[in-house]
Every structure is written in structure tokens, then in C-alpha cells.
Amino acid sequence: MQRYHPVLVALHWLMALMILISLTAGWVILDNMANDDPDKILVLTGHMSAGIVIGTLLVVRLVTRFRTGTPPRATTGNALLDRIGIWTHWGFYVFVAGMALSGLATALGAGLFPIVFGGAAETVPEELSGLPQRIAHGWIATVLALLILLHISATVYHQLVLKDGLLRRMWFGARS
């Protein structure tokens, strides 16, 4: 088998895009907006909806991954790099799930669902920023961003140094 199942390919690129947008929006927009800024609710409507969709797609991805055949494990010729590759891939599942769950816990802890989706208040509560799950959401985001950097560096290494065409496996086309 030379490629991943087309559902996994589609989910990979869709989730990559949604995660990059969510990380950027979280750091660049949300983190720099005061809690008493009424516009924050609009940004949170998009961020919370996208985050819940990402969490749901992660479950669909995991189920599809175990139900479909995959190409043989990629190798670099270096046992340590190969082991880092395996751990990075499982790390993605753990940290993306961690983002979705800590985001949900933050929204529940600050009572954001009725405010963001039900118009229950004009602004978000000030306590939001100090909640432990909110602080965890920020730290998990940092680890996830580091994993993404590692993942992109490995892809560049495979494409440009090893020239083994690894990226083809994560695109549509004949699988055998």
C-alpha cells in the first residue's frame, strides 16, 4: 500500500488548516482582547465552534485510521529519528485531544456556552483568564505548535534531503 485512505488524506489537510487557524486566532486575536471587549464574543463563537469540530474530526480520524490499511512505516535510516517520528504522530492525537478538552473545560468553567451561543451576557467574565484549565489550554497550545514544527521539519527532511517522496503518501491517488 502506497498511500493513506482518501478519508484520512482529506482529514489530515482539513484538520491541519483548522488547527493552524485556531492556534493563530487564539494567540493573535483572543489572547490580546480584553475580557470586557464585547467583540470577544464574536471571535469566541468562531473559535469554540472550530475547536469542537476539530475534536469531533479527531475521533473520526482515529476510527478511520484503525479501520483502513496504511503504508509501511516511514524510515530515515536512523533509529532515533524513526522513534521520534512514531512518538510525534501519537503526540498529535494526545495534544489535539488535550486542546479540545481543555478548551471545552474552559468554556464550561467560565459559563461561556450561554454567553457565546445564547446571548446571556454582553461580555465574558473576568475570571476566565485565571482558570487552571484556561492556563493549561495555553501550555498545551505551545507543545502542539512545537510538535507541528517538528512534523514540518521532518517532512522537509524527507522531501529535500532523503528525496523519498514521502509527501505523496498523504495525497489522493492509486493506493497500490
Interacting residues with ligand HEM (CB under 6 A): 19, 22-23, 26-27, 30-31, 33, 44, 47-48, 51-52, 54-55, 96, 99-100, 103-104, 106-107, 112, 128-129, 134, 137-138, 141
Minimal distance, residue 60 CB to ligand HEM, in Å:
14
- 3-class SS string, 77-126: CCHHHHHHHHHHHHHHHHHHHHHHHHHHHHHHHCCHHHHHHHCCCCCCCH
Are residues 39 and 33 in contact, defined by beta-carbon separation less than 8 angstroms? yes
C-beta closer to ligand HEM: residue 19 or 147: 19
CB of 70 to ligand HEM, least distance (A): 23
**CA 128, CA 124: separation in Å to the nearest integer?**
7
Please state, as a whole number, how many other Cβ atoms lie within 10 Å of the Cβ of residue 90. 9
Instruction: Report the C-alpha gap between 41 and 29 in whole angstroms.
Output: 12
Residue 56 or 75 having the CB closest to ligand HEM: 56
Q: Which is nearer to ligand HEM, 93 or 172 (CB)?
A: 93
Minimum CB separation of residue 88 from ligand HEM in Å reads: 16
Q: Minimum CB separation from ligand HEM for residue 79, in Å?
A: 31
